[in-house]
Amino acid sequence: VGARRVTEALLADGRELVYFDEREGVDRIVHDTRRLDSPPPPSVVRHDPLLDEWVAIAGHRQGRTYLPLADECPLCPSVAGRQTEIPSTDYDVVAFENRFPAFAGVDSGASAGLPGEDLLVEQPGTGRCEVVCYSSKHDAAFSALPSSRVLTVIEAWVNRTTALSRLPGVEQVFCFENRGLEIGVTLQHAHGQIYGYPYLTSRTRRMLNSAARYLERTGRDLFADILAAEIKAETRIVARSGAWTAFVPFAARWPLEVHLYPDRQVRELGDLTMLERAELAEILPAILRRMEALYGGSVPYIAAWHQAPVRVSRDLAYLHMEIMSPRRAPGRLKFLAGSESAMDAWINDVSPETAASALRAIPG
């Protein structure tokens, strides 16, 4: 598998776009000739002192494109008479800055962290939000991508993780996919997203704090020991390859939840060997296909990569993906209601062992 050809371009309003092509000799259009409004006003992040979390306030996102018809899709390639976000008439994989970003711009260095007494702390919502299109075909799905294309997507994740990590003020890079109307996607074209946050997310902070405490107590790595415990228990394993293990976690929150770990501890996607990438390109779509087959057809899901933060606690991190779906039965969804939304106290109606055994029974 050769390296992908990377071509950088600029969109009409100054946003960056990067093509990742599988063949030599393709000529991608790098000048966007549309007339676009100037970018929306930047968002802000506000600190919630009760939960010690940041919340992005991005009012401009209310005006973003919502479920356009297929022939008005902004993620399809441009055709004669209709220019989209992608200037070329074809592409393999493309990443570009979101037109309606929750985070944008570069940290000016003015943000000084948390002033002690002030409870109402607001900072510019700097960072980066990018869209990654997996295919020029409007109705493609990650679960059906050939492994050669998944490898191209992996290369795009690695390339953009490196690029976003270098932006001043970005503390964490998050590659993810929201799939399905039930999850709230506003564009149905096969795509994922990458966020460069200007802070460490509270979930990552909690995980790394747990890992730090475990290391102090035992001298061992928490993530590696969880993986070893799941492999030993066997009952929640969904699939294994030589380098990867997929399992339903012991304390799964969602009725359909699968975690995918490399057997070797690595910090981020760019640390994966070519062999590990090749196996990932097989096992990840296969897990999604099992999830689809479980309830017959499409399944709404969130697929979330956990990578090491840019600056802090890097040695504690363990790259892994968490896939979660609210599907609990054909035609039925779990909603995050009172206990989950108001108290962060999850109640899962499907036992993790039942979910794992059902997923395992589906031919990979």
Enumerate residues 6+ apart whose C-beta is below 8 A from 356: 235, 236, 237, 238, 247, 248
Q: Can residue 302 be called a binding residue for Zn ion (CB under 5 A)?
A: no
At 206, list the tokens.
């909690």
Q: Can residue 289 be called a binding residue for Zn ion (CB under 5 A)?
A: no
Enumerate residues 6+ apart whose C-beta is below 8 A from 314: 267, 308
Q: Specify whether 191 is catalytic.
A: yes
- Given the rule CB under 5 A, which of 12-20, 73-81, 191-199, 236-244 is the region that contacts Zn ion? 73-81
Active-site residue identified among 191, 259, 306, 320: 191
Per-position x/- string for 96-135, each x denoting binding to Zn ion as judged by CB under 5 A, each - no binding: ----------------------------------------
Number of H helices, E strands in the chain: 6, 16
Shortest Cβ contact with Zn ion: which residue? 73
Q: Can residue 138 be called a binding residue for Zn ion (CB under 5 A)?
A: yes
Using CB under 5 A as the binding criterion, the count of chain residues that bind Zn ion stands at: 5
Q: Can residue 73 be called a binding residue for Zn ion (CB under 5 A)?
A: yes
Q: Which candidate, 151, 153, 168, 138, places its Cα nearest to that of 275?
A: 151
Q: How far is CA 117 from CA 46, 121, 122, in A?
A: 15, 10, 13
Q: Can residue 243 be called a binding residue for Zn ion (CB under 5 A)?
A: no
Shortest distance (Å) from residue 262 CB to Zn ion: 32
Among the listed residues 11, 75, 131, 350, the single contact to Zn ion using CB under 5 A: 75
Q: Which candidate, 320, 294, 292, places its Cα nearest to that of 306?
A: 320
Q: Can residue 60 be called a binding residue for Zn ion (CB under 5 A)?
A: no
Angle 150-269-127 from CA coordinates, rounded to 5°: 105
Cα–Cα distance for residue pair 362/289, rounded to 1 Å = 9
Residues 169-198 that bind Zn ion (CB under 5 A): 189
If the CB atoms of residues 65 and 348 are measured against Zn ion, the closer one turns out to be 65
If the CB atoms of residues 138 and 267 are measured against Zn ion, the closer one turns out to be 138
Q: Could you list the active site residues?
A: 191
Which residues are near Zn ion by CB under 5 A? Answer: 73, 75-76, 138, 189
